[in-house]
Structure 1
Amino acid sequence: MTETELTLIPDFDLSGRNTLALKAASRFGVVLETTESIAALFALAEARGLPLRILGGGSNVVLAPEFDGITAIIASKGKFLVENTDGHVVVEAAAGEVWHDFVGWTVAQGFGGIENLAGIPGTVGAAPVQNIGAYGAEVADVFESLVAFDTKTRSLRTFALDECAFAYRDSVFKHEPGRYVVVSLRLRLKKPWTPNLRFAGLSELADLPRLDPKAVMERVVAIRNSKLPDWRVTPNAGSFFQNPIVSLEEVTPLLARFPNAPNFSQADGRTKLSAGWLIEQSGLKGFRLGKAGVSDRHALVVINLGGAAAEDIAALAAHIKATVMERFGIALHEEPVFT
């Protein structure tokens, strides 16, 4: 695809392309359906001297009201079975696929391994960047490889597991924001399948006479729906803060004051705390600040009460962080990117 074949849409409305439903627009917008179009777009943006940003499902962003440049939506599609052996299958999906649809597709094929990650909003391309995780599983557990467009070299690059530097809600792609655009993702799912039932609410599934990935996926979705507001009904960006991982020096005085605080030892000697618990114990569950608020269903979810803008979300986030710091001495960090 050449630059001239790209269709730039002026005054591109993004209000329906972010799960917080923030009113937002871009000077230009474009929907990218092929890998070739990504390279052409970067060349075009450079030639015109326009800033460029890439969006997937808009589920992990807080959009400014105006962006004086080009906003590109990754919309490539395709789900494939790459390899099938006695010990594993390798599946691949294009970056523009809806993540939950990809999970459902693997389960429908009879393949288990990512059913615990069902219901997470966003696209396949965003999943490895954030190293999304839920219910005792994360993308890194089953990662095989990915292909990304390198905006510096203007070429495609394949990443193996050890090149991604995966950690809790982290990857090499977050440390070089804007450099790589994920094109496709491959996952290796083990055979025979072993269910991951460590998380509360899943363990009782072990008593079922016949357990399959579909049953686990359905239970995960049911748990999520019971706890988290649906972004299509109550606009939100999912978990707004990361669970803080703190040092022994930080966690010791906290547990001395609050011995019932949820805490989880990490392999490196640090301790993971529950951001949701910290926020709720700070009296902020259901809190409202202008047009933004904290969900009364789950303290980790920031919601748009109607007509909120990025500044409203930022003000609420700052208030939450300051309140938790004052009460517990623990710093919180946002998951969504402000852009």
Structure 2
Amino acid sequence: MIPLLFYVVALAFNLLTTLHDRGYAWSAVIKATQIIPFLYGSYHIYLFVVALVPMQGRSGFASNPDILIAGLVALGTVLSLSFVIPLINTFRRPSTVIFTLLAINAVGMYLATSTQIGFPYRPKTNVQRVSYMAVRNRFYEYDGTLSNDESGYLFNFYDRRMEKPFLGTRVNLTGLQSMTTRCQKHMMCGMPYVRNHQQNRFLPRTEPVVPPGSTTLELVNKTMVNATVARFVFEMTGPPYMSIFFQPYEDVKIVNLSFPGDYLQKPPPYPLAYHIYIVCGKDRSPIVFSIDLMKSDADFEVPVLQLGTSGRWDADKGDAETARFASTFPSFTMVDQWIASYERYIY
């Protein structure tokens, strides 16, 4: 609308001043009046780029911001230059102008795709965000035995390029694993909860991660509410940030919780487990909660519930190996790392 308005103003001025009868004198007025619409359109497209593209990071690597940028730039070109491009035909050799523009475009694409000029990250202006946990995962079976004790780094890549920018750097990502198999095998992928957890990557390490504290879970009481419902009462202690995951077996149903009851009315979609996130302030008293389970045959002497606990320590930078690993990332990376633990129990 704005380019059209300025074009009408320029056209009216040319007609009133008889510039249309003086060769190409009218073209200078049109070019001058299109400067403001061009700047106006460019400003809005730039505003959309700097505002919308960072939002794509919320979708993890599933989104492609380059397509959004290309669409916005194409739209800005059409809106800003729609009344200027026809003026190319007024040149003595318009084909030369067109081929010159195409050549400049080709050179720009080459520089962006084949040289360091097009590398998307810079140490001070546009860093690559890398978020990961140094985790210690332990899996306890129904009889209380420890079946698996593993340590490693759980990566949550915000950028769709994921680990590719680190190829050829000092970061050793040998053995980096997809979470697909783990998510099919374990409740909540057998890891502390991280956003987009099925898209994350896990890097095992041989040296155990030693968290600065511990997250404990104790079965305080187990009673029969009625003939088919049993109540499990637990007590949990740990760091300021904790999570509780629980998932009943196929023939078992959760009928009541000591947490807000509306959570049961909106269960998470399969294969996600129930997740309670707990943040503690000055009051570090143990968290006491209960879960009521219903089983048609009333046999609660067999495994009926998987329950996982997770603790997170944000202020701690970890042991020496964790600090050494963080120091290997290149200067264009902003590392956001913390320490976490995960324990899986079966009741």
Give yes or no for TM over 0.5.
no
What TM-score bracket applies, with the shorter chain setting the length?
A: under 0.3
- Which protein, 1 or 2, shows the higher relative CO under an 8 Å CA cutoff with sep ≥ 6? 2
Larger Rg, first or second structure (1 or 2): 2
TM-score by length of 2: 0.22
What is the TM-score normalised by the length of structure 1?
0.22
